Amino acid sequence: MKVVYRDILSKINPWLPDPQIILIKGARRAGKTTLLKIIEKNLAKNKAPTKYISVDQHMYEPFWKSLDSFEMYLKTELEFPARKRLYLFLDEVQYLDDPGLFLKTLYDKYVKEIKLIVTGSSSLELLKTREFLPGRKVEFTLERFSFLEFCRTTFMERKQEMRFSEENWDDLTVFYKTFKTRLEGAFLEYITWGGYPEVVLQNQRGKKLQLLESILNTYLEKDVSSFFNISNISGYNNLVQLLTSQIGQLVNKKEISSTLGLHYNTVNTYLDILSGTFMFDFVRPFFTNIRKELSKMPKVYVRDLGIVRYALSKNFMKYELIDGHLVENFVYRHLLEDYAPGDIHFYRTRGGTEVDFVLGRRGAAVIEVKFSKRISKIPRSVKRFLENYGNNVNRIVIVTMDKLAKEGDVYYVPGPLFPFFKFSA
């Protein structure tokens, strides 16, 4: 299978010489194991000793029971301790009985002899791990393929990230004119299938669908049913379908409870799991008053558009027919490449006027999705936001169907080009 360069490597590699535990979070089948193998292979080129253990496949081994047992295991498997530091890869560490305590104990005793690089698929379980590791770890989140990574599998061979800053606007324009047709075709494919690596790298559409169903059915069976002990899988699945049908809309928990016949507390639990397993995100409204932000209803987005295909069987035959809410979700997905979820908000007035995305605590950048051919001026909702918070706004980006233009501080950027545009905020 083709190995695609992951942009997150440029963020992880500088931390390899340092003592801190590298903790890589991300959804099941997002490519964490492959990422570990790439890091391990690169280290091996420099003759660094490495050891990879898949925790979920060896969770019942006796060597996890104590640090002494694990030390003995390492000594029987390889030369340990050795003159060179061992790079120890623990995949899906949440399957340990007490991962936080285990990692802390191992780190504190062998900080000079072992460099720990671990992964996990559940941020809920990893929250417990963090309690034991203050100052001992650095965290990264591996998403499914971004659109840039997706394009590397189709028509772009360049390994490293290729993005254009505001200063390189003319280059961005030439790039768009050169690859417009290919970008739109890739965009249509990405919107339809999402970024799960196995699905992306499979060329046959029938097999793509089978893989997608397999990945998400395994998630329901292994993570939701077994790991979180959720017995009402049909209710959970109904919630997935309901949320997927409401992308970019407000999440009313009471309404969901009534519609699905689930207890309000159950809805809360399920929503936490969906967020904690990197399936959905819930974006908070923009307020300068943090209390108001936390008390108002959030908007929902999927972390990968393949979930939409799985839940609703959405399929678009033409670029021009793509649903605007999915383009909005596409934009959200790619904002995660540069911003933490807590720095991404939306703006909504009492009258229902909305701005899709406001970045930063003070609203340094505004992004509005208008996936249409008829875009001639700044949307009214953006003007309304500027009336109230304009002094803080440095950048306005309007995501369009095919308009590419710069008018003062306003940038009109076609949807497929948005991930390639690195704007300041």
Query: How many angstroms separate the CA atoms of 281 and 272, rounded?
Result: 10
Percent over 70 (pLDDT), the chain: 95
Read off the pLDDT of each residue in 334-357 and give the average, rounded to a whole number.
91
What's the pTM? 0.92
Arithmetic mean of pLDDT over the chain: 90
Query: How many angstroms separate the CA atoms of 108 and 88, rounded?
Result: 15
Read off the pLDDT of each residue in 347-364 and give the average, rounded to a whole number.
87
Q: 23-37, 192-206, 245-259, 283-297 — which is least confidently predicted?
A: 283-297
| Cβ atoms of residues 339 and 357 within 8 Å | no
DSSP readout, 96-161? SSSHHHHHHHHHHHHTTTEEEEEEES-HHHHHHHHHH-TTTEEEEE--S--HHHHHHTTT----S-
Q: Confidence class of residue 162 from pLDDT cuts 50, 70 and 90? A: confident
The structure tokens listed for 354 are 């909305």
Q: 6-10, 118-122, 191-195 — which is least confidently predicted?
A: 118-122
Q: 2-11, 23-32, 289-298, 306-315 — which is least confidently predicted?
A: 289-298
pLDDT confidence of residue 158:
65
Check residue 74 and report its DSSP letter: H
Question: Residue-wise over 12-29: b if at least 16 C-beta within 10 A, else e?
Answer: beebeeeebbbbbbbbbb
Question: Is the alpha carbon torsion for 78, 81, 86, 91 positive or negative?
Answer: positive
The structure tokens listed for 97 are 């009985």
pLDDT confidence of residue 1:
62
Place of tokens 């993005």: 163
Q: Confidence class of residue 174 from pLDDT cuts 50, 70 and 90? A: very high
The structure tokens listed for 409 are 């501080």
Domains and CATH numbers, the chain: 9-142 (3.40.50.300), 148-422 (no CATH)
Read off the pLDDT of each residue in 45-52 and give the average, rounded to a whole number.
92
pLDDT tens-digit series, residues 87-133: 999 999 988 888 888 999 999 999 999 999 999 987 666 666 666 78
